[in-house]
Amino acid sequence: MELVLSEYHQHRQEEFRCFADSELDQDHQFPHQNLIKAGNRGYMGLPIPKEWGGAGDDFLTYILMLEEVSKVCASTGVILSVHTSVGTFPLLYYGSEEQKKRFLPNLSSGKLLGAFALTETGAGSDAAALVTTATAVDGGYVLNGSKLFITGGGEADLFTVFATVDRSMGRTGITAFLVEKDRPGLTAGPPEKKMGLNRSHTAEIRMEDLFIPVSNRLGEEKAGFMIAMSLLDGGRIGIAAQGLGLARAALEFTINHLKQQEHAGVNTDQSSAFIIADLAAKTAAVRLLIYRAAMAKGSGKRCTKEAAMAKFMATDLAMEAATKCLDLCQSAGCGVDNPLTRYFCDAKAPQIYEGSNQIQRIVVARELLSQKNLSQL
């Protein structure tokens, strides 16, 4: 597999880098303007086919965009990732023609923001344990329950919600639904107070006797768990790109800081040089891992192992880079207005969401133990 970026991908990467550096703001509010700018450039529907209003680009191009955006604003990066990978792809892969016509063009343009509502109090890593119910009634279903830690919870326009039509059936009773934000019975709680990624509002959504017509069911009844699991590989590669962007941002800031120190007559000691070299090497290795996973995903190959590896390696690296770079910059890195402080706080959550990194390691080990041919190990 070719791992050197083509001339086209290099050109797009530079385009995304210039966009992120020159047009993204970094204030403390939900990044409405960043999303409008991204939508105007076609980035909200980058890998969505042109027939549905998207840009028709490949998956690697989309990952390059997430990496560059996350380097400047990781909150905007995760919003874009969730909007596309689990907010829009469910419709693209499983929606009816009528559903696609109704929602996809507006999701692709950024007129609508998509969200994914799976997690519950007792159903995080074990998604099959969800208890939100969908009771069949004349013409549709009535949903009751709540979802936690929903990215864009108070801001999204369309939620892919998972509920069970029969709790006794476990995962085989789970069904997916498309829920518009203005449906009576749907309410969103206030944004969670988090240590980082605070521009990306994370909130609880509650459903109380919320009627959903059959036309808003996504896929077949009881196919929800399969739908949710099928989206994970793409989502994990997107969060890996976010982690890579954060690691690069921390490393770049620190190298520039050390250069300024040397100009001021303070030489970089050998231990600091070793840390910088190790982080740079790990960043280069993780980049290749992510791009390989993205290329496999884009070509339609099964990439569960590669996606899980990319996710835990990249997000662990983001936390390591932010921590070690703070140590290297010492007191200069700890001010609340210093970007290293933001990188450090932003880097923790990506290790947890889209499947915790402990779960990712279980996935990788399970994949390896089931393989008969380990020549590609």
User: Would you please indicate which residues are annotated as catalytic (active-site) residues?
Assistant: 354
Task: Using DSSP, state whether 114 is helix, strand or coil.
Answer: strand
Task: Using DSSP, state whether 151 is helix, strand or coil.
Answer: strand
What span, in angstroms and rounded, lies between the C-alpha atoms of 108 and 49? 9
What span, in angstroms and rounded, lies between the C-alpha atoms of 15 and 18? 5
Residue 269 is classified by DSSP as P
Question: Token match 């890998």: residue?
Answer: 47
What span, in angstroms and rounded, lies between the C-alpha atoms of 73 and 77? 6
CA distances from 44 to 38, 39, 108, 146 (A): 6, 5, 5, 27
Question: Token match 């915790």: residue?
Answer: 356
What span, in angstroms and rounded, lies between the C-alpha atoms of 162 and 130? 8
Residue 260: name the closest of 321, 209, 329 by CA. Answer: 329
Tokens representing 305 are 């192992």
- Sign of dihedral through CA atoms 58, 64, 70, 73? negative
Helices 270-298 and 232-263: angle between axes, nearest 10 degrees: 150
The H-assigned helical ranges of 166-269 are 224-230, 232-263
| 158-164 and 114-117 strand pairing | parallel
Task: Using DSSP, state whether 137 is helix, strand or coil.
Answer: strand
Under 8 Å between Cβ of 81 and 237: no
DSSP letters spanning 19-38: HHHHH----SS--HHHHHHH
Mapping DSSP onto H, E and C, the string for 68-112 reads HHHHHCHHHHHHHHHHHHCCCHHHHHHCCHHHHHHHHHHHHHCCC
- Sign of dihedral through CA atoms 43, 44, 47, 53? negative
